[in-house]
Amino acid sequence: MLHKSINGADDRYNVVVIGSGLGGLTSANRLARSGHSVLLLEHHHQLGGLATWFKRKGHIFDVSLHGFPHGMVKTCRKYWNRDIMESIVQLKNIVFDNPQFSLTTTFDRQDFTSILVNRFKISQATINDFFNTVASMNFYDDQSMSTRELFEKFFPGRDDVHRLLMEPITYANGSTLDDPAITYGIVFSNFMNKGVFTFRGGTDHLIGMMAKELVDNGVNICKNSKVDRIVIEAGKVRGVLVGDRFIEADSVVSNSGILNTIYDLAGKEFFPVEFLDKVKTVRVNTSSCQVYIGIKKEESIADIGDLLFVSTAEKFSSDELLDMHTRSRTFSLYYPKTRPDHNRYTVVASMNGKFDDWNRLNTNEYESEKQDMIDRTLVDLERYIPDVRQKIDWLEAATPKTIHRYTLHTKGTSFGTKFEGLDISRSIFKAIPGLFHVGSVGIIMSGWLGAINYGVIVANDVDGYIRSI
Ligand SMILES: Cc1cc2nc3c(=O)[nH]c(=O)nc-3n(C[C@H](O)[C@H](O)[C@H](O)COP(=O)(O)OP(=O)(O)OC[C@H]3O[C@@H](n4cnc5c(N)ncnc54)[C@H](O)[C@@H]3O)c2cc1C
């Protein structure tokens, strides 16, 4: 049952899931399918978390539907349903344009190999060795090597190659050259498998299909329901508080940020000191800025590619990408083929961003920086669509503060935490029996594919726990 508020919920469940990001939705679905009673609580009026969309003047803007790896096909078939799987389609024109190179690619191993051999003059043997090395990286590997060291090992001094290999992954999971190479290798290899994919019909269509399946599987869903507290008694989970409404549960799965879960929802007084010492080392990942551009109903734009990684910065640097005034951005182009029933064109520009840069501004400075960001974005877009300004009838910007407001995540993080957060998320139930965490952590478990797969892993843990009590 889909309820508008907490009033529709029962008093007791096997599992309460806090938050309806892709991780929370997937855990809820798996647990309901396994026969458990599940309540899903979402503070927002819309499900999906960062997998979200909004409507303005007849436009539908997708916030995080820019591209995911082919692995989503299998994941959606196995853990959701065939209709969802069948809506996944490839984005074939991925464009790079920067002072070091301009090219179009399908962003898969075969095409990248040919580009690296023919344009960048790298030997076939080195490329094979590099691809095989990153493809064999796994979670249990030694994590001491950084991505910078990995690139220097295979392509010493070739910052043009580093840029080609790294720029899209920085946008895809917020990782930098100084993060462990594994956070790069796993995501990069996932994409190189078969390229970049999207969801035909848009995010609204996907989340609608997921909500239907949840309801069919018996999940109770309450929107506009912010959990204020996870109730812990005698060292284990008893339920949650939404305002003054207590709901009892054998277990709680929090899809809220890992630090929000520990500090704000559970309360640090309930955790062992050694666990908290580890929590203190967790760094949240960076956030994002976006500019949403709506094209008038009667206008169209030429096909300039699906995903454009553009930059006027001479060299690639993680700091430049994160700078408030970065000269690098990704344009996601949404042609009518994205939503075949909705004959409109939109463009979304995405930049990485830091919460503190935006949070320190007063109201006037904040509005003015947002306007400057929109202006810089249009100057860039005009290089690809010269007459675009006359075609636009909607412009709007989002900053890390916007992401924070909608998801409540610490510092508006787009991709959870750095690598050390994964261990905390995976071991939280050992500190407090019955308390589980799902959602973006450790860079690997983020992005649409990572979040859904992590949802499955956590659902298995919860299922085992409930059966053992
Ligand atoms: C700008 C941007 C672009 C992106 N682009 C891509 C992309 O192209 N491809 C890709 O694969 N990934 C992309 N991502 C990342 C991807 O969207 C996320 O990694 C993924 O959707 C996160 O899922 P999650 O399960 O961690 O939960 P989240 O989406 O973070 O959702 C958490 C949910 O919990 C809710 N919540 C929190 N606290 C409470 C509470 N106390 N009570 C009730 N509810 C609560 C929040 O409201 C939210 O709905 C992008 C992210 C951003 C920000």
pLDDT (tens digit per residue) in 143-175: 789 999 999 999 999 999 999 999 999 888 888
Residue 232, in any domain of the structure: yes
Are 6 and 39 found together in one domain?
yes
446 band by pLDDT with thresholds 50, 70 and 90 = confident
Q: Is 362 left (phi over 0), alpha (psi -120 to 50) or beta?
A: beta
pLDDT single digits (tens) 302-321: 999 999 999 999 999 988 99
User: Which pLDDT value is given to residue 2?
Assistant: 77
Ligand 1 pocket test target in 64, 413, 443 with most atoms within 8 Å of CB: 64
- Mean pLDDT for 86-115 is 97
For residue 136, the domain's CATH number is 1.10.405
Ligand 1 near 49 CB (within 6 A): yes
Question: If you measure from the C-alpha of residue 21 to the centroid of ligand 1, how many angstroms do you get, rounded to a whole number?
Answer: 5
pLDDT single digits (tens) 19-37: 999 999 999 999 999 999 9
Ligand 1 near 257 CB (within 6 A): no
- Mean pLDDT for 347-367 is 97
Residue 315, in any domain of the structure: no
**Domain count of the fold of the chain:** 2
DSSP alpha helices (H): ranges in 42-81?
Answer: 71-79
Are 180 and 238 found together in one domain?
no
**263 pLDDT exceeds 90?**
yes
- Mean pLDDT for 238-264 is 97
What is the distance between the alpha carbons of residues 39 and 247, in angstroms, rounded to a whole number? 9
Ligand 1 near 256 CB (within 6 A): yes
User: Which pLDDT value is given to residue 318?
Assistant: 86
**181 pLDDT exceeds 70?**
yes
Question: If you measure from the C-alpha of residue 2 to the centroid of ligand 1, how many angstroms do you get, rounded to a whole number?
Answer: 20
What is the distance between the alpha carbons of residues 1 and 404, in angstroms, rounded to a whole number? 28
**210 pLDDT exceeds 70?**
yes
Residue whose tokens read 């436009």: 59
What is the distance between the alpha carbons of residues 47 and 164, in angstroms, rounded to a whole number? 35
Structural contact between residues 451 and 440, judged by C-beta atoms closer than 8 angstroms: yes
Contacts with 124 (C-beta within 8 Å, 6 or more apart), sequence order: 113, 117
Ligand 1 pocket test target in 17, 43, 50 with most atoms within 8 Å of CB: 50
Are 144 and 214 found together in one domain?
no
Question: If you measure from the C-alpha of residue 251 to the centroid of ligand 1, how many angstroms do you get, rounded to a whole number?
Answer: 22
What is the distance between the alpha carbons of residues 377 and 338, in angstroms, rounded to a whole number? 22
73 band by pLDDT with thresholds 50, 70 and 90 = very high
**54 pLDDT exceeds 80?**
yes
- Mean pLDDT for 231-243 is 97
Ligand 1 near 61 CB (within 6 A): no
Structural contact between residues 201 and 224, judged by C-beta atoms closer than 8 angstroms: no
Is the alpha carbon torsion for 240, 243, 246, 247 positive or negative?
Answer: negative
Question: 323-335 burial by CB neighbour count: b if 16+ within 10 A, else e?
Answer: beebbbbbbbbbb
**pTM summary value:** 0.96
Residue 311, in any domain of the structure: no
Question: If you measure from the C-alpha of residue 353 to the centroid of ligand 1, how many angstroms do you get, rounded to a whole number?
Answer: 16
Q: Which residues are bridge partners to 448 per DSSP?
A: none
Question: If you measure from the C-alpha of residue 26 to the centroid of ligand 1, how many angstroms do you get, rounded to a whole number?
Answer: 13
Are 47 and 118 found together in one domain?
no
Ligand 1 near 191 CB (within 6 A): no
Q: Using the 3D structure, point to which of 141, 172, 194 is the last residue of a domain.
A: 194
Residue whose tokens read 């700078």: 323
Angle of helix 159-173 relative to helix 109-118, nearest 10 degrees, comes to: 150
The identity of residue 421, as a single letter, is G
Sort strands 236-242 and 245-254 into parallel, antiparallel or unpaired.
antiparallel
User: Which pLDDT value is given to residue 3?
Assistant: 75
**What are the angstrom distances between the C-alpha of 202 and each of 55, 77, 307?**
12, 18, 15
Residue 237, in any domain of the structure: yes
Ligand 1 near 286 CB (within 6 A): no
Query: Which stretches of 93-147 are assigned E, i.e. beta strand?
Result: 94-98, 101-105
Are 153 and 218 found together in one domain?
no
Nearest to 199 by CA among 321, 74, 343, 85: 85
Are 432 and 458 found together in one domain?
yes
- The secondary structure of 308-376 as a DSSP string is EEEE--SS--HHHHHSTT-SEEEEEEE-TTTSTTS---EEEEEEEE-HHHHHTS-HHHHHHHHHHHHHH
Structural contact between residues 221 and 1, judged by C-beta atoms closer than 8 angstroms: yes
**139 pLDDT exceeds 70?**
no
Ligand 1 near 187 CB (within 6 A): no
Ligand 1 near 440 CB (within 6 A): yes
Question: Residue of the nearest CA to atom 27 in ligand 1?
Answer: 21
User: Which pLDDT value is given to residue 288?
Assistant: 96
Q: Which two tokens stand for residue 132?
A: 């095989």
Residue 344, in any domain of the structure: no
Structural contact between residues 43 and 420, judged by C-beta atoms closer than 8 angstroms: no
- Calculate Rg over the CA atoms of the chain: 22
Ligand 1 pocket test target in 255, 454, 456 with most atoms within 8 Å of CB: 255
User: Which pLDDT value is given to residue 312?
Assistant: 98
Residue 100, in any domain of the structure: no
- Mean pLDDT for 178-199 is 92
Are 238 and 174 found together in one domain?
no
Domain that holds residue 161: 108-194
- Tell me which DSSP letter residue 282 carries: P
Ligand 1 near 242 CB (within 6 A): no
Residue 307, in any domain of the structure: no
Nearest to 431 by CA among 280, 279, 283, 285: 279
197 band by pLDDT with thresholds 50, 70 and 90 = very high
**4 pLDDT exceeds 90?**
no
Question: If you measure from the C-alpha of residue 50 to the centroid of ligand 1, how many angstroms do you get, rounded to a whole number?
Answer: 3
- Mean pLDDT for 46-63 is 97
Are 209 and 185 found together in one domain?
no
What average pLDDT is seen over the chain?
Answer: 95
103 band by pLDDT with thresholds 50, 70 and 90 = very high
Are 272 and 421 found together in one domain?
yes
User: Which pLDDT value is given to residue 401?
Assistant: 98
Structural contact between residues 101 and 160, judged by C-beta atoms closer than 8 angstroms: yes
Question: Residue of the nearest CA to atom 49 in ligand 1?
Answer: 49
- Mean pLDDT for 9-26 is 98
Q: Using the 3D structure, point to which of 194, 229, 249 is the last residue of a domain.
A: 194
CB atoms within 10 A of CB 37: 17
Question: If you measure from the C-alpha of residue 408 to the centroid of ligand 1, how many angstroms do you get, rounded to a whole number?
Answer: 10
Q: Using the 3D structure, point to which of 194, 214, 237 is the last residue of a domain.
A: 194
Are 210 and 268 found together in one domain?
yes
For residue 253, the domain's CATH number is 3.50.50.60
Residue 246, in any domain of the structure: yes
What is the distance between the alpha carbons of residues 38 and 16, in angstroms, rounded to a whole number? 6
Are 160 and 228 found together in one domain?
no
